[in-house]
Amino acid sequence: MPGTNLNTRTFVTLISFIVLLVLGALGRAQEPTQTAPADDLPQEIKLLWAADCKHDCRWTFVGTNDKAQEQEKLHPQLNAIRAIWHLPLSADRSVFKLEFAAPIRKGNNVFHLYIKADGDENTGRKDGGVHKGVDSMFTLLDGDANHASTRLDVFEADGNARRGDCCVEVREESLYLGVETVLQQQDGHSVFEYNVASYVRDNGPSTGLPYRRVVSDPAPAAATDKKLPVNPELTIINGKIPGWQLVGGSRPIEAAFAADDKEKALVVERLFSPEGLIQSANLAPGHYLLRALAKTNVFQIHLVAESSRMPIAVSDEFLWVELPFCVPLSTKGSGKTAQFGFRYLARPATGNASRLPARLSAKKVELVRLGDTVLSDRWAETLPADRLHRMKLIHASPLWIRPGKVVFQDAFLGTELWLMTQEGKVDHTYVGHPDFSHDGKYLQLGLRKSPRGLLRTDGSARRLNDDWKQIAWLFPWEEKRLPKPGEPVDWIATSRSPAGIQLLHVASGENRRIELPARPGWRIVHFPGIATYGGRGPNMRQITHETLVWLSDDNRSIARSNVEGQSFTTFPVRSISQRPEEDKLYPDMSSVGGKAGDNWRDAVDRDGNRYFLFEINRDHFPDHPTNPYQVWALSLKEGDGRGLLRVRFHPNAAITEFVTSQMGMTPQPSANWWNFAAGFPWSGDNAILMLEDGTLVHMSSLGMHSSFAGGNTVSVNDLDTGRVRFLGNFPAFDRVSWPHEFRRDRDDAVVASHAEPASPIVVLDLEHTTMWTAALTNFHDYAIRYKTRWDPTAYHKPMFRPAPKFSPDFTKVVYYSSMLTGDHPDRKWGDVYMAVVRYPEPPANLRSEGTALVWEMPRRHAEIQGFRLYRSRESGQGYARVGEKLLMGTRYELPADAEGFYVLTSVEHSGLESRMFSSEARVGSNHVYRHFYRPATGKLARPMVPFFEPAGTCNGYAVAITDPELVYKRQLEEGLSGSVAMRVAIPQPGRVRIMARVRGMSTLERSSYTTGWPRAGEAAGGRFAVRIDGKEAGAIPVRGFPWQWVALDRGDVSLPAGTVDLELATSDAGIAVDSILVTNDPGFVPRGRGQVPVELAASPQKLRVEAFGPQDEPAASELLKDPRPRVKLAWDAASAPQGVAHYNVYRCDREAFEAEAETLLGSPTGCVFYDGGLETGQAVYYRIRAVDAWGNLSPASAPLAATVK
């Protein structure tokens, strides 16, 4: 039977008609005149369904079974039906009263009620013999109204089944059943057929009533005004919460509930994972908001709706918790039976968790339909994306030793992507690990396996060494001990131990060693960098202390000193054991529940203080009678006099049972420190511990299984306030890299979705509380790799993860993918990619002072190598590079003939350059200005947020009220507005023209947090109100999908010289603005994206093949060692005013070919390219295109034929 999950014996109901003939259980149909008052209708059903019933409620007698008393004696677990009554409540709701021959028996039994409601055998259930045409099927399992398989199945006209709404109440020998069903109405009566089957499983006896046609009272014309959820105040009646069900896992439910009359709330005590309080309802496709006024005592209870979940913050006060969720469009064309309510959810990936009881208090639950949806149920898995991002040549001819990187575009989104390695040789580093050097110049490979080493992020070089197994980059205390303190560029640590740290200058080969002190009777057990921090990151730049931790040889004392061994302070080891002499001390934390103990090194509190944690009696439980398991912490802040501090359990609840076995990275007898972390806030499989003085310390991990793993809701919580914020819904999320150990209110995080084959990477904007799809990794086989990771014979390729991480300035995300490995058996692992998710910020406040240009460093500048100067004869366009050398510092002396307009960009060590110019500086007497501003850099007021659109915007971002979950829809209709404000300079008084580059978004790109969809449907339209210093100045109308420059509808405005506040505000969701022009030139209309170049006209010249020579070392050193034929290409540089960022090299075995992504081979920054892996006598053709910093491509060079010798 559909949905009942019963054994084979269930199908005896298919021949129930034959059985009934044998038993002689033929009943008598009754006329609708045989009625009785429905005074016995249970209060539960009245509460849930009959509140709006305006007619006289009376039972109609619709059937009886003369053999009931005989059948009841067939088996002690058989429930024999005696009589059936019917009561229509509304056009789509009926109640049946089923009377049995004896009080309903619980046991190994099944009861079915089948209803053919519409009189049409061709609609409803398509199979089932006599049950063909059934529209509703009720199942009572084991005589238990609360059994998980007690349910109503509703068959739609096309035969597809869904869970229907029903209410079941058992009263001795009577079962009251409220069902969702639309009965046929004829001649003022309800007309339908029903069938009853009751049997004992495992070949027990069967009985029931065959199908019969009955006539009952008419149903009211109106359908039930069904308000969801039912019983929203969670009222208790007769010891039950009508409409709600306590659900659990494999263990018996221990939860107990009661009414709190003082608070007028429901209180549920002793909830354990995965128990909860749930309601089911059939919901049409659309966006919904589930709200609850609730509180809890530990951070475990979630508001849930299907796979969406929202943690309920720990609080002494009742707070509204809101969970937006979506019921997607289904190919079945019907709604979905959704479960929603409250659930105790354990953190992900921690193995067995000890049992911490939770208390839930709830006053009210609301469910609001917000609007329709355009999302299908598998929209992320069916993105219409190119599986290779058009990279056909690289897919067919990858080469590990081919120098340089390949710059290409995400074929769906338009994101700039860099392929850093080829041939599928690289395993991942875990989320959170610091892959990038602090200045972004290098990328580390191979923390988990070889090949190991460093890649230059500009693609110019790589250095491999399988001995480099630790974090390569220097901690702040190590940088201070370099030959030139403060200049850590190119220095790495090749090994660390308590004896010392070995350093290497990658560029020069210079070696240096930092010796650590020694002390008789003591050994060093901790310093920053002593471990890999579990491979999930430390926040290296924030670990600034210079403290060594020592342990005495007798394990009885802990000491703290600086890295020179001075300020040596000892602390006797404390213990709560009754027999401390039998304690066993471990100078670290155990690896347990899938999490390395080294994640606790340099744990941090809310003030940034770091701690050393260690364990006592690791192999015991915390409740051991004499020597319990203990965790202690020592502050690493010099002068902190608190001494050793014991870790305490959560103060609001006590663990009732400790796990007896715990598997993880290292088998342990219990959950160890996870027991102490239970109940405290978490973002995934991270943890917080409470010290005995109340201090909360957070592990130093930046990477983890996210709290949204297993679901699709992204939420973040604040360690200090306990506040939980909703970011959005996205399918199949798991591991995340955070920018900070516990702060979730600034910068960006990045998470991978395993919605294959596209497998998107999504950026979480923590400051603006939104997110967007950054790139499609095309990691097409992660699921099978992960599933078979312990069985190498099950799949021919090992497991690795996409593991996205940010670069220091949040401009690039590194990730790992199998996109180009296909099914090639020799390409077992993955390749390293980078996605450009933000371009470097330009310098701030560029201005002329005397004979010099001066500026300030941008807010984020860790990766910036220098600045590039551009000059134009006119404001706002036509800028040309001033020299090829990057500017350093924040000042540039102007030459004598310096008149013109100047702008700056920032250039990273990776070669990535700003796509947005700095503010413009004027030198000379030309007073015409054309100034451009980027709203994405302005001050945003929700619900205005930034969104990522690399293909169409100037700098990658525009702003709009995207409202993907429709949570602001009603408020926007009532006048709520979002805005963006910017400080705008007016150099000269007079008339000013204001224009904006705007477009309308599609509902699909807004709802999916993903741009790049084919344009379809209707574009959003509306207007931006423009205010200057708070006064209305006009509006910018928006219509249509294409980006277009639109002028202020009231024309030019008069403004004085100085600085004004320019604000754009709107209540129209889905209209976007990318750029704003402020000018005193009335006839100027920008081209393309504004002030940035829109074309690169000059193509490379004199493409040729050159001989290899000494000058090709070390760039082509690996290629030169390869015995296979190789080719060196050279060409003359393209001459373009804006300069060239890199060149694209294309190859084909045909002379007539297009220089496009399908034939792209490499992207060198200079005018030389090395190709290899060729065959002798092979004829190939090459073409070259220049690319500027804004992605403009030059025309391709003529093809060059090369015959490999």
Sign of CA dihedral 1008, 1011, 1012, 1015: positive
Whether the bond between 498 and the residue before it is cis, its omega within 30 degrees of 0, is no
CATH number of 935-1079: 3.40.120.10, 2.60.40.10, 3.40.50.2300, 2.60.120.260? 2.60.120.260
- Compute the distance between CA of residue 350 and CA of residue 356 in angstroms, rounded to an integer: 14
Low-confidence ranges of the chain (pLDDT < 70): 1-33, 49-55, 222-227, 332-334, 349-353, 486, 661-668
Residue 648, C-beta contacts closer than 8 angstroms, at least 6 positions apart: 676, 690, 691, 692
Record the tokens describing residue 862, joined without a space. Answer: 């860790």
Give the CA diameter of the chain: 115
Instruction: Report how far residue 280's alpha carbon sits from residue 275's, in angstroms, rounded to the nearest whole number.
Output: 15
Instruction: State the residue for tokens 């029931």.
Output: 208
Question: b vs e for 940-970, b when ≥16 Cβ sit within 10 Å of the residue's Cβ?
Answer: beebbbbbbbbebbbbbbbbbbbbbbbbbbe
∠ CA(924), CA(930), CA(934), 5° rounding?
A: 125
Cα gap 935→614, rounded to integer Å: 49
Residue 1164 main-chain phi, psi, to 5 deg: -70, 150
Radius of gyration of the chain (CA): 35
The DSSP bridge pattern shows strands 557-562 and 569-572 to be antiparallel
The letter for the amino acid at 1199 is P
Cβ density class 776-815: b for 16+ within 10 Å, e for less: bbbbbbbeebeebeeeeeeeebebbbbbbbbbbbbbbbbb
pTM of the entire predicted model: 0.90
Q: What is the pLDDT of residue 9?
A: 37
Give whole-number Cα distances, 1144 to 412, 777, 912, 1120, 1194, in Å: 20, 21, 15, 22, 10
Distance CA 649, CA 674 (A): 10
C-alpha dist (Å) from residue 720 to 302, 316, 463, 694, 747: 19, 15, 44, 12, 18
How far is it, in rounded angstroms, from Cα 220 to Cα 89?
7
In this structure, are residues 389 and 800 in contact, taking their beta carbons and an 8 Å threshold? Answer: no
The burial class, CB within 10 Å (0-12 / 13-18 / 19+), for 180 is buried
Using alpha carbons, select from 413, 473, 388, 394 the residue that is nearest to residue 437.
473
Mark residue 1080 as left, alpha or beta (left: phi above 0; alpha: psi -120 to 50; beta: remaining): alpha
d(CA 535, CA 1028): 51
Whole-angstrom distance, CA of residue 599 vs CA of residue 231: 46
Side chain identity, residue 26: L
647 CB contacts (<8 Å, ≥6 apart)?
A: 613, 630, 631, 632, 633, 673, 676, 689, 690, 691, 692
pLDDT at 499: 95
CA distance 454 to 442: 6
The pLDDT score that the predictor gives to residue 24 is 36
CA quadruple 239, 244, 250, 255: dihedral sign: negative
Q: How many CB atoms lie within 10 A of CB 47?
A: 17
- The residue type found at 303 is L
- Local structure of 939: helix, strand or coil: strand
The count of other CB atoms within 10 Å of the CB of residue 663 is 12
Cβ neighbours around 1009 below 10 Å, total: 23
Distance CA 1099, CA 1134 (A): 5
* Residue-wise DSSP of 96-136: EEEEESSSPPPSSEEEEEEEE-SS-TTSS---SGGGTT--E
What is the rounded distance in angstroms from the CA atom of residue 514 to the CA atom of residue 217?
A: 92
Strand partners, 360: 268, 296
Distances (CA, A) of 496 to 473, 590, 1128: 11, 21, 41
Contacts of 991 (CB under 8 A, 6+ apart): 1052, 1053, 1054, 1080, 1082
Buried b (16+ CB within 10 A) or exposed e, 399-418: bbbbbbbbbbbbbbbbbbbb
What phi and psi values does residue 466 have, to the nearest 5 degrees?
-70, -5
Residue that the structure tokens 């024309």 belong to: 1051
Can you name the CATH fold of 844-926? Answer: Immunoglobulin-like (2.60.40)
Query: Architecture of domain 1096-1203 in CATH?
Result: Sandwich (2.60)
CA distance 488 to 476: 9
Give the residues across from 834 on adjacent strands.
418, 814
For residue 216, the surrounding DSSP H or E stretch is strand 206-216
774: CB partners within 8 A, 6+ apart: 413, 415, 750, 760, 761, 762, 763, 813, 835, 837, 948
Quote the CATH superfamily of domain 245-371: Galactose-binding domain-like (2.60.120.260)
pLDDT at 196: 95
* pLDDT for position 665: 56
Among candidate residues 703, 674, 661, 560, the one with its CA nearest the CA of residue 615: 674
Helix (H, G, I), strand (E, B) or coil at 491: strand
pLDDT for 487 equals 77
In angstroms, the CA 1118 to CA 205 distance is 79
CA distance 446 to 425: 10
